[in-house]
């Protein structure tokens, strides 16, 4: 496993997935009775979903599993190891068979984007982890490969494909992050998303200090308030934004074809 000191010295090359595969396999079994790495990871995901990244500790995880903290070190060396395994386990929630059966590249992008968004919302701690860890576990790589396949099938030139992937999936990452954190704030306030949103909007719309600043966007705020539930708004805006991005890829495909020199 990756030692904490190794991560501190060389974070760009530190990942549990870069360790020798035989050693990883050896550490995944043969430990204390009734405990294995899959069980540890499943418990860690439950704790992360319920309490967040900051509150995960080896001691609390051991208590959750009803084992000693030392028992965990048979399978992992650090909390970072656990988080890396948890990240990859969450990527496995994206149904790649559904992607394969979706149809053309547009439909595949839509299926991937929606599944990625839903995964981020289910696991609010995933977003801050994306930039802290290498995301090179087998499930993460499999999802990345499906994204590349879908964008490649659009017909974009090779040098433009990474930009298109970024446009779509960094949008999804940002959207899912905002959605998940809004849901978290509402939960912490003991309110539904609808009540939390309504109270938040009224808090500044009723404040005279914001009247002038809000005048240019009042029409938009009124439209959103009349559309339906917060969940409806999340879905509507996401679907349309994704259509805009896909339409943009289509335009750029045609532009690249017209820019090619005649043979």
What is 147-181 written as a DSSP string? HHHHHHTTT--GGGHHHHHHHHHHHHHHHHHHHHH
Is residue 171, in this structure, part of any structural domain at all?
yes
| Domain edge (last residue) among 63, 91, 119 | 91
What does the alpha-carbon distance between residue 59 and residue 72 come to, in Å, rounded to a whole number? 9
Q: Which residue has the tokens 């050693």?
A: 23
The answer to whether residue 25 scores a pLDDT higher than 60 is no
**pLDDT the model gives residue 31:** 59
For the beta carbon of residue 150, count every other beta carbon within 10 angstroms.
24
Query: Does some domain include residue 222?
Result: no
Residue 86's nearest CA partner among 69, 115, 61 is 61
The answer to the question of residue 80 being in a domain is yes
26 and 12 in a single domain? The answer is yes
3-class secondary-structure state, position 2: coil
Higher pLDDT, 220 or 26: 220
Q: State whether 84 and 101 are in the same domain.
A: no
Structural domain includes residue 160: yes
pLDDT at residue 237 in the model: 95
Residues 17 and 78 occupy one common structural domain: yes
Question: By percentage, how much of the chain surpasses pLDDT 70?
Answer: 88
Residue 7 has pLDDT above 80, yes or no: no
Distance CA 33, CA 31 (A): 6
- Helix, strand counts (H, E) of the chain: 15, 0
Domain final position from 91, 126, 147 = 91
- Report helix, strand and coil shares of the chain as percent, to nearest 5: 75, 0, 25
Distance CA 175, CA 181 (A): 10
**Tens-place pLDDT, residues 195-212:** 999 898 888 888 888 888
Question: Containing domain of residue 74, as a range?
Answer: 4-91
* CATH code at position 235: 1.10.357.10
**Per-residue pLDDT tens for 95-115?**
999 999 999 999 999 999 999
Indicate the residue among 91, 122, 149 that finishes a domain: 91
Q: Are residues 115 and 236 in the same domain?
A: yes
Instruction: Identify whether 111 is part of a domain.
Output: yes
Residue 195 inside a domain? The answer is no
């Amino acid at each position: 496993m990756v030692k904490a000191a190794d991560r501190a010295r060389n974070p760009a090359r530190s990942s549990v997935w870069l360790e020798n595969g035989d050693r990883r396999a050896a550490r995944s079994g043969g430990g204390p009775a009734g405990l294995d790495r899959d069980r540890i990871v499943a418990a860690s995901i439950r704790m992360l979903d319920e309490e967040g990244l900051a509150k995960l500790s080896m001691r609390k995880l051991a208590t959750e599993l009803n084992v000693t903290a030392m028992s965990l070190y048979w399978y992992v060396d650090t909390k970072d190891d656990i988080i890396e395994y948890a990240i990859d386990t969450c990527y496995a929630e994206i149904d790649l068979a559904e992607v394969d059966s979706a149809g053309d590249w547009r439909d595949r992008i839509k299926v991937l984007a929606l599944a990625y968004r839903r995964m981020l919302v289910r696991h609010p701690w995933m977003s801050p982890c994306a930039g802290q860890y290498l995301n090179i576990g087998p499930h993460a790589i499999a999802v990345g490969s499906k994204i590349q396949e879908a964008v490649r099938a659009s017909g974009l030139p090779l040098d433009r494909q990474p930009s298109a992937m970024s446009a779509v999936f960094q949008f999804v990452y940002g959207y899912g992050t905002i959605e998940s954190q809004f849901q978290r704030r509402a939960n912490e306030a003991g309110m539904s998303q609808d009540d939390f949103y309504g109270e938040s909007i009224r808090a500044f719309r009723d404040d005279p200090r914001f009247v002038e600043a809000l005048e240019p966007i009042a029409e938009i705020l009124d439209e959103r308030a009349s559309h339906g539930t917060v969940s409806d708004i999340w879905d509507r805006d996401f679907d349309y934004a994704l259509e805009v991005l896909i339409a943009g890829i289509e335009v750029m495909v045609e532009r690249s074809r017209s820019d090619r020199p005649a043979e």
